[in-house]
Every structure is written in structure tokens, then in C-alpha cells.
Amino acid sequence: MIEANLDDQTGEGLGYVMAQLLDAGAFDVYFTPIQMKKNRPATKLSVLGDPQARESLTKIILVETSTVGVRYQTWQRTIMRRHFIEVQTTFGAVQLKVATYDDIEKKTPEYADCVRLAKQSQVPFMTVYQAALAAADQADKEC
């Protein structure tokens, strides 16, 4: 994880650097509101990425933000195995990510599919999302 505290960067500039880092292959980029000295509201930028990408991600941070340094550290991870399934709903087909670890299994409908079908059918996003979960649950029972 690479982190930097930013008190002399605008929100606009931070939105831009998030996009740059994701384009460059960062796994995840997130902001945390923090409070720095001299009554400054600030933002902590956190970037998760491949260790091989540390140098290139760091350079994007140094180029695009006002910080003069970053700190970094390796975290270990426990990651569930993932594969995808597809289910049929009233609104169309939706992919679900199936994540497994030991005897744990859970399914998450793909955001992009739900958004597309919700707009197509002019129904709420959550209606498609729930329909996909229900269809996946039904499929499980039928096996």
C-alpha cells in the first residue's frame, strides 16, 4: 500500500489522480478525510497495487499531486477464489462474481450489468440487482 497526506491539492485534482492511478493498473485507490496541522482539512490518498508497479504508481503520485514524498508498506492478503456465472432475469442476463474460500461461497451481481439493464428497462438499479441474486439462488436450489 502506498499512502500520501495531501493538504495542498484540490478535490478536482484528486479526482483526476484517482483516474490516472486506476488507468495505470492500481488494484484500488481510495481517499480518507483527515485533519492536519494549522486547521487544514486534508485527504489521505491510499493506493493498492502490484509490488512490481510500486515505482510507476509512486511516480504518478509525485507528478500529479503536491506531495513531496510517499510512504509504502507491504500487507499480506487472504483472497477468495473467484469465477463468474451468468443468470437470466426478467430484465436480461446478468453476470455474478462467485467467490469461494473453504466452505464459504457468495455471489455478487456485476455492477455494470445491473446498471445497463436498469437503464434499458427503466427500473431501479436495486431491482435488477435483487433479481440477479434471486435467480442465482434459485439456480443453486435446482442443482
| 20-49 residues near its own copies, rule: CB under 8 A | 22, 28-44, 46, 48
Q: Does 142 bind its own copies (CB under 8 A)?
A: no
Phi-psi region of 61 (alpha: psi -120 to 50; beta: other; left: phi over 0): alpha
When binding is defined by CB under 8 A, the residue of 56, 116, 130, 139 that contacts its own copies is 130
State in angstroms the smallest separation of the CB of 86 from its own copies: 18
When binding is defined by CB under 8 A, the residue of 25, 84, 125, 140 that contacts its own copies is 125
State in angstroms the smallest separation of the CB of 93 from its own copies: 18
Q: Name 43's Cβ contacts closer than 8 Å, sequence gap at least 6.
A: 5, 6, 9, 11, 14, 31, 32, 33, 34
CA distance 68 to 25: 22
When binding is defined by CB under 8 A, the residue of 52, 93, 131, 143 that contacts its own copies is 131
State in angstroms the smallest separation of the CB of 123 from its own copies: 9
Length of the chain equals 143
